[in-house]
Structure 1
């Protein structure tokens, strides 16, 4: 069996929409490592960052050409599938959308994600955590005892 040209195997994903073709960038090693770290909880990666990595300049080109957001979203998911599972998976996502199980898993992850970034969390212990201290009472003086009349 002869090997196919390398560009056919890992070449850029081309998204056809509204009579035009939009070429997604090939993901760099650095961006691939960032996405891998984010998937395993090691780095925060915003949706904007992910969109830039996957769609690159094609996103703005599609917006400029009036491509509907649903199509741009499908292109993003196809690009993610292409990166993670290969061209066949990308074609499946492009033609059929994101599998329901994947969407459910993502929804679960997003609803469990903290809303406050760890760096912004308070270091003050919450009430009732057992780490608070009660004010101490002042000790009675060891001086003279007061007289029964208070003088």
Structure 2
């Protein structure tokens, strides 16, 4: 395990790769939830039907819970479990695989959504596909932000 010096000069342990990857996954899921909430608020809660902008009616508000489970939680749980398990098995912080696994989840969600739409299964299949691609974008933003933060910390140490 790499030891770093704390500001007091005493050695401290570096965070575990699973903790780092897990915190990045939580950040990506939180960003994903905020962006998806904005999309849902700006459109109809049923993502496949987007009428004019406005507040949803009281009848449509009851659909939010089911919509949120189907569109936000399912892709995020699948992806989050995958990246944390991968970080644990490889014992290193996930970077490229962090984003690539989100893209794989998005591709699988899109592939699963098409037959659900064609067969008219009563789930939010378009919302699942949109949400999974949004999750992939959020994972990319988190990885880039982590790299920028790491570069800034390294620049401050050398200066």
TM-score (normalizing by structure 2): 0.29
Whose helix fraction is larger, Structure 1's or Structure 2's?
2
Give 1 or 2 for the bigger CA radius of gyration. Answer: 1
